[in-house]
Chain A
Amino acid sequence: MTDWLSPEEWTAVRLSLKVALVATSASLLPGIAMAYALERGRFWGRQALDVLVHLPLVLPPVVVGYALLLGFGRRGPMGSLLAEQFGVVLSFRWTGAALACAIMGFPLLVRAIRLSLETVDRKLEDAAGTLGAHPAWVFFVVTLPLILPGIIAGMVLSFAKAMGEFGATITFVSNIPGETQTIPSAIYTFTQVPGGEGGALRLAFVSVAISIAALWMSEWMARRVRRRFLA
């Protein structure tokens, strides 16, 4: 059943899924917090933070990858700190690929959550306060359920971005088969060698199939949430 993809191709597919899932789940909580801070917060430097979060959306991915290499590479300030203190190495590891993907997808995640936060009727939160609810409780019982569709949409976008991320990943963690070679890097490698067309085509199909499945699943989840919760 699995022989229509070669073992190396399977490895790339598995790795891509792992990287994308880890990147998306790891950025979920920070993404919700960031969206909330940017949408509701009134603090000094909010706009600068907004720009910083959105930067990966407009920068060339290679630049983001290079910045990660400088910061989180073995000799980078963050990289050496993580390696010495926690024994965590990111450069040229799949964890580094996940970090690159998470950063590239973060603005998409934050944007989607923020948009749905914007549409939440503030009176619903006000009402909870007048009914005796603590602000933290208001967030979990009122706000969070209302922005769930936005969170799902943001996660799908972030997952899709991670599945397709190439420039930042290859710059930061290179293209090591079995460690950092995701579907896009594998396709790239196939196109560089004679007779690689078949592999490139097969992986391209897989990547289309995964994207469609992700979209379909998010649509289904969003519909369920909406039917359960919202008008």
Chain B
Amino acid sequence: MAHVSIRDVRKSFGSVSIIKGVDIDILDGEFVILVGPSGCGKSTLLRMIAGLEDITAGEIRIGSRIVNDVPPKDRDIAMVFQSYALYPHMTVAENMGFSLKLKGMPQVEQKKRVGDAAASLGLTPLLDRYPRQLSGGQRQRVAMGRAIVRDPQVFLFDEPLSNLDAKLRVAMRAEIKELHQRLKTTTIYVTHDQIEAMTMADKIVVMHDGTVEQIGAPLELYDRPANRFVAGFIGSPAMNFIEGCLEQDGLALPSGTVLPVEAQLPVARGSKLTCGIRPEHLQIAPPGTPGSIPATVAVVEPTGADTTLIVKAEGGHLTAVLRERSTLRPGEAVALKPAAHQAHLFDEQGGRIAAA
């Protein structure tokens, strides 16, 4: 196990700058998730940690050692790839034992280690098969098994679940988390799926366009997003954003509604602000309720547990998630009342405005 520290790391491919100065501290035994939209540089950063891409500038440490110039084989890591990267010409057992064979471990010991890992992943009956004879989920387990058997200082995962169907993904999510609780190996996990990030991580790093937008515990990011990007990225369905203007008695929205805000904001009256409201913080109210936003129902999506309501309001569509079942029909007039003190405010640059 080891602490990993990333200091002002940069990466350019030719003249194109892909990673633009990233600082991340990953504690010993922590499960950290790098999340961000496609193309933001998550895989590139992970490959730099693995040693598969060189580092244009900055410093990466694993444990107390600067690894910038250490080849992958000496970094004491194990990586699980999205495509699993299993060896088609080796059986499951040979794949899993690959790193032990490299170490020159005695056959008996190899067999025992592979057998233990296989048992913990439910792979024992498959040890003699070739990867082509396995389902996607089984291959994914073998890839994890191969990494576990190496017993590395750090696990690196690059979107290991994105080739699985939705149900299996949820099951594997729990399994990986359990595995981490058992092994307590420092883990860096890349995904573009914010739900995966929210459910699995000790700490989430939100990346965007080669930079880190925010680092924090899942609920910290959810409750106090540092900027509009993080606010919109974390949470599903996504946060509603409404443009408004700060006036004497609150934030005036396009619908004419005035949303009460904290008195001590560090911005001048008359400033244009964006108000962010999570879907679960909008409640249905009778039309005309003071402080509510008038709207027309566009789509009703019952999921069983709750109901997602998409409405058309002045200034754009809004999404609300209702705990109760709804009898609303498309075209009906409703009013949505934001819950008190749950609005997030962002300035024109997208930065969070906090009460002074």
Contact = CB atoms under 8 A, between A and B. Distances in A.
Interface of A: 121, 123-124, 126-135, 137, 142, 145-146, 228-231
Given A146-B88, A231-B88, A231-B132, A127 B79 contact: yes
A124 B85 contact: yes
Contacts of A229: 88-89
Interface of B: 47, 50-52, 71-75, 77-79, 81, 83, 85, 87-89, 98-99, 102-103, 131-132, 146, 150, 156
A129 B89 contact: no
Contacts of B99: 131-132
Contact of A127 (B51, B85, B88, B103): B85
A136 B83 CA distance: 23
28 contacts: A121-B83, A123-B83, A123-B85, A124-B87, A127-B79, A127-B81, A129-B50, A129-B51, A130-B52, A130-B75, A130-B78, A130-B156, A131-B73, A132-B99, A132-B103, A133-B73, A133-B102, A134-B73, A135-B71, A145-B89, A146-B88, A228-B89, A229-B88, A230-B88, A230-B132, A231-B88, A231-B131, A231-B132
A229 B72 CA distance: 26
Contacts of B83: 121, 123
Given A123-B83, A126-B52, A132 B88 contact: no
Contacts of B79: 126-127, 130
B89 A230 contact: yes
Contacts, number: 66
Among A135, A228, A231, which residue has the most Cβ atoms of chain B within 10 A?
A231
Given A130-B72, A130-B77, 19 more contacts: A123-B81, A124-B85, A129-B72, A130-B78, A131-B98, A131-B99, A131-B102, A131-B150, A132-B74, A132-B102, A133-B73, A133-B98, A142-B87, A145-B89, A146-B88, A146-B89, A230-B132, A231-B88, A231-B131
A142 B98 CA distance: 11
Contacts of A126: 47, 50, 52, 72, 79, 81, 85
